[in-house]
């Protein structure tokens, strides 16, 4: 059975006359990392909220279709079950921090406290999460004294400590500087290595290509396609949807350097490999560049 399924999902915010999500269907296997891309207003955050059950649980409005987690309908789960199943990381770590706790450690423990996890287990889980995300050394720090990257990793640790099967991250690095971005992407890679199913809404296509098994392209609330990064970024019509391929793919396209499958490369490593191969076969791409 698929781990996460969307079936004809539709959603309209209260007072709005356009659908933020328009008949979206897909299924995702356990452990997959799914990128969510699309121009501003295309529905990425709305889809994230629907996957985490906040639509229709928290946001009212008109809702149709369903999200199934392990075959169970998210809209019918109680809040407790839902937050053990799926965790949501927001764009801005400031919005995730409760503001009620004096240390990073207590902040990470907050969710576990709320669901009544026994004290010893709570300590073990908080420590594990903080160590995994390399923030245990900041455990005594005041949450708002942390750097953006540390604060976002603290937020992710709080989500991870809940041991969800699914983590949804809505542009988790968009407020961070390059160092913070790097730290958080390493943290996401760690989560992925733990078999967690990941949804990652993100504008940086190089990161999406490097991280994701498949990518969902949204436009005006509709799912245009959900495919491997190579197939999606090799499409000729991306500009129609207001997105661009990774810079390596654009370069390879200009120079018509394709892999054996006819697709353009999407990561630096792959692009380099194909360019080197071309050089060996005398295609002269690198000479042309020089």
Q: Applying CB under 6 A, which residues contact ligand ATP? A: 13, 16, 20, 38, 40-46
Rounded to an integer, what distance in angstroms lies between the CA atom of residue 61 and that of residue 277?
54
The answer to whether the beta carbons of residues 23 and 9 sit under 8 Å apart is yes
Which residue minimizes CB distance to Mg ion? 45
E strand or H helix at 9: strand 4-12
45 binds Mg ion (CB under 5 A): yes
Give the nearer residue to ligand ATP in terms of CB position, either 91 or 150: 91
User: Are 243 and 39 a contacting pair, CB within 8 Å?
Assistant: yes
Distance CA 62, CA 226 (A): 25
Q: Which CB, 150 or 152, lies closer to ligand ATP?
A: 152
Closest CB 26 distance from ligand ATP, rounded Å = 16
Of 8 and 60, which has the nearer Cβ to ligand ATP?
Answer: 60
Stretch binding Mg ion (CB under 5 A), from 13-21, 38-46, 145-153, 202-210: 38-46
| Distance in angstroms (rounded) separating the CA atoms of residues 127 and 193 | 18
Q: Taking the complex as a whole, how short is the minimal distance between the CB of residue 60 and ligand ATP, in angstroms? A: 10
Closest CA to 243 of 209, 198, 192: 209
Of the two residues 201 and 285, which places its CB atom closer to ligand ATP in the complex? 201
Residue 259 touches which of Mg ion, ligand ATP, none (Cβ within 5-8 Å per kind): none
Tokens for 49?
């909220």
**Paired tokens of 58:** 């928290």
Least CB distance from residue 198 to ligand ATP, whole Å?
17
Q: Does 49 bind Mg ion (CB under 5 A)?
A: no
Residues 128 and 41: their CA atoms lie apart, in Å, by 37
* 83: partner contacted, choices Mg ion, ligand ATP, none (Cβ within 5-8 A by kind): none
Residue among 38 and 87 whose Cβ is closer to ligand ATP: 38
Q: Which residues of 112-135 are buried (b: 16+ CB within 10 A; e: fewer)?
A: beeeebeeeebeebbbebbebbeb
Contact flags string 115-154 toward Mg ion, x per CB under 5 A = ----------------------------------------
Query: CB 44 → ligand ATP: shortest distance, Å?
Result: 3
The answer to whether the CB of 44 falls within 8 A of the CB of 170 is yes
What is the contact surface with Mg ion in residues (CB under 5 A)? 44-45
């Amino acid at each position: 059975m698929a781990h996460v399924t969307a079936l004809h999902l539709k959603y309209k915010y209260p007072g709005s006359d356009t659908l933020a999500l328009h008949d979206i269907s897909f299924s995702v296997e356990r452990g997959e990392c799914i990128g969510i891309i699309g121009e501003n207003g295309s529905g990425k955050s709305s889809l994230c909220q629907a996957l985490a059950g906040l639509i229709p649980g928290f946001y009212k409005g008109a809702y149709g279709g369903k999200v199934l987690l392990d075959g169970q309908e998210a809209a019918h789960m109680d809040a407790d079950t839902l937050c053990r199943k799926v965790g949501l990381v927001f764009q801005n770590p400031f919005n995730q921090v409760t503001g009620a706790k004096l240390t990073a450690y207590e902040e990470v423990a907050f969710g576990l406290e709320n669901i009544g996890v026994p004290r010893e287990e709570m300590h073990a889980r908080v420590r594990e999460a903080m160590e995994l995300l390399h923030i245990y050394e900041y455990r005594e720090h005041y949450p708002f004294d942390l750097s953006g990257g540390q604060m976002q990793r603290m937020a992710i640790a709080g989500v991870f400590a809940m041991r969800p099967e699914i983590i949804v991250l809505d542009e988790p690095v968009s407020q961070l500087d390059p160092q913070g971005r790097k730290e958080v992407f390493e943290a996401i890679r760690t989560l992925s290595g733990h078999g967690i199913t990941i949804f990652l809404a993100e504008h940086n296509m190089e990161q999406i290509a490097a991280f994701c098994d498949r990518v969902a392209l949204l436009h005006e609330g509709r799912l245009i396609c959900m495919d491997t990064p190579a197939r999606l970024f090799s499409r000729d019509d991306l500009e129609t949807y207001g997105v661009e391929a990774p810079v390596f793919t654009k370069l390879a396209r200009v120079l018509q350097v394709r892999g054996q499958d006819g697709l353009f490369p999407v990561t630096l490593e792959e692009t380099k490999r194909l360019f080197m191969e071309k050089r060996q076969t005398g295609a002269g791409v690198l000479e042309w560049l020089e």
